[in-house]
A and B are shown apart, each in its own frame.
Chain A
């Protein structure tokens, strides 16, 4: 019985870490820019593909496996931080005055375009980069063998959460962000360069999606369409946590991960819709999510 509970917890936390990594960039962008970025899944896939190419070269040149994790991180960061700001500067910045639904449709169009761009660059054949996943070995818990790579993913999720919280709460840039989150116009009137904040935020959000994709790539087959499922799940997590809320995303990911693991072990028939059931249940009682941001009443 204890073993079974331990398994549910380990599986649940493992999935929660992945959910958090996949969704945190989406909530950051929404919080600051009020954009539901449907192209988030494409940046996740971009991170995975770039990681696959970098790791292919890494293995081919027989570079130290221990440093491959740094290569995964940096490659996804760079890819997200180049393509994301480019998209923002060339397309999105001309759309901010438009209705949120119109911007959502534009990011959907971007998603479709980027999916085809990925296919043009990397083709339709799958890529496998198992080396970082296999290199760390396994650990035993509850009589079950788990790859240590999942601990790395958990550590990465915690580190991302801590760094983002620190940046938002303790740095000057974070305070500027919080100001823009609360009121874009007043922030601009106070001399904050909102345009610069937007491009940086979009870059960070896209880089976070890329990092999630890069660190997922060693556990899966990197194929066209891999970003589609991520958009749906990330959106469910972000809405449940409260659009734009960092602690909300973390809590929603933990709840959904553990409830999902419980269902898989005890009631597998419910797995298909358990995440969306959690979302529906939360929204029924808290329509703005678990940690919705307070909005100043405007006169």
Chain B
């Protein structure tokens, strides 16, 4: 009798193990790539990783709000493989290949650096791996040729620059001159080129006073601040981010740069709370889209804000939104492909086909994959001015610009669209 009981118990436990294994085999391996070390980790990489961890655990528990409340992706649990983006492009490409060929990930969400996005895109296409670029800004990804497996669920950098210029036009119809300070690499140069071109369209007789391009991570900007102040620019544009932006604020604020110039911090949202007492009222702040404090007040956004703040004791910044939005888009695309495949695990081709052109409601409002043959999403963007209320940083005079005012139409390159007058269809 005891033997029989033991046999039955053994069989049952064996079946349970098999069931668990079957479930494990059914899991979806999601590669997450973000900066976990280096200067970009704190402002961007770690908040993005936190957002990924939160979303994946909520998806697996089936506790995310509708329409994202299916467990995992279509009932299959998610497994996260986390990789540090730090390193040169060669190392980043090697890690990408490792994720696909060694770790057998089903899809990848990642990449902050535009250089890394440009480096891994052809590899993602070669390996036929569905990849969502979550933060990098370069418009070149989808403007330099058709992509089949690479997607971006948020606006590219053109929206930030054109949005800043449109905000100035809405706030100050007449501006005679402007200057800028931007990091001397792809992001800084592209931001400045787009912003100055958009300003010339909106203010045809405007003059550029000075364009400062210090080295990335230079940290010391005293001379550049002197040059900006001496130029008597009405507007100072900067796409600085992370430690460089914080150093710039710390060094420029006591010198009075903000008294005579409207300073535009394109990526200012990541520092606006921790440097609240150093950012003068009136500073123009962006969040690279309708994210963070600029996110629309929707039930989805409130849920994300509450969950993130409860888990990490800080509100989500814009990179957390970008990561979370990318995961939402990935979930919708995957589940659509799964449904079309009769509930079975879809192939990369099927996921890509299902994701192409979809529209999704994200934590930062509505987004639609309408550019780049349905691979590049667009959304509204927003800017506001800093104002401390009872010692707490807030944004006032917030202006929202619909996607068609800040992103080019499908098939038109950003530079051509800006030079052509940023016409909306």
User: Which residues of A are interface residues toward B (Cβ below 8 A)?
Assistant: 4, 7, 10-12, 14-15, 18, 119, 124-126, 128, 130, 133-134, 138, 144-147, 150, 216, 219-221, 223-226, 228-229, 260-261, 264-265, 268-269, 271-272
Contacts and interface: CB of A to CB of B under 8 A. Distances in A.
A233 to B, nearest CB: 9
A268 B275 contact: no
Interface string B207-229: 00011111101111011101101
B230 to A, nearest CB: 6
A260 B221 CA distance: 11
Interface string B395-415: 000000000000000000000
Nearest to A263: B223
B256 interface: yes
A128 B230 contact: no
A265 B226 contact: yes
Given A221-B243, A229-B217, A264 B250 contact: no
Interface residues of B, number: 38
Given A221-B246, A221-B247, A272 B223 contact: no
Interface of B: 36-39, 41-43, 46, 184, 210-215, 217-220, 222-224, 226-227, 229-230, 242-243, 246-247, 250-251, 254-256, 274-275, 278
A224 B222 contact: no
* Residue from the set A7, A14, A224 with the largest chain B CB neighbour count within 10 Å: A224
A43 to B, nearest CB: 16
A145 B230 contact: no
A124 B256 CA distance: 30
Taking chain A's interface residues, is the majority helix, strand, or loop, or is none over half, making it mixed? helix
Contact of B255 (A145, A260, A268, A271): A145
B230 A224 contact: no
Contacts, number: 120
Contacts of A4: 230
Nearest to B185: A272
B227 A265 contact: yes
Nearest to B245: A221
B38 A225 contact: yes
A115 B222 CA distance: 27
Contact of B212 (A15, A128, A271): A271
Contacts of B213: 268-269, 271-272
Pairs of residues from A and B, 3 with the lowest C-beta to C-beta distance, nearest first: A221-B246, A11-B223, A220-B247
5 contacts: A128-B250, A224-B38, A265-B226, A271-B213, A272-B215
B420 to A, nearest CB: 27
Given A125-B42, A220-B250, A271 B214 contact: yes
Contacts of A138: 254-255
Contact of B219 (A7, A12, A220, A224): A220
A17 B38 CA distance: 27
B226 to A, nearest CB: 5
B38 A12 contact: no
A39 B195 CA distance: 40
A147 B223 contact: no
A7 B226 contact: yes
A83 to B, nearest CB: 21
B226 A144 contact: yes
Contacts of A225: 37-39, 217, 243
B183 to A, nearest CB: 10
Contacts of B218: 229
Contact of B230 (A130, A146, A150, A265): A265
Nearest to B224: A264
A264 B227 contact: yes
Contacts of A272: 184, 213-215
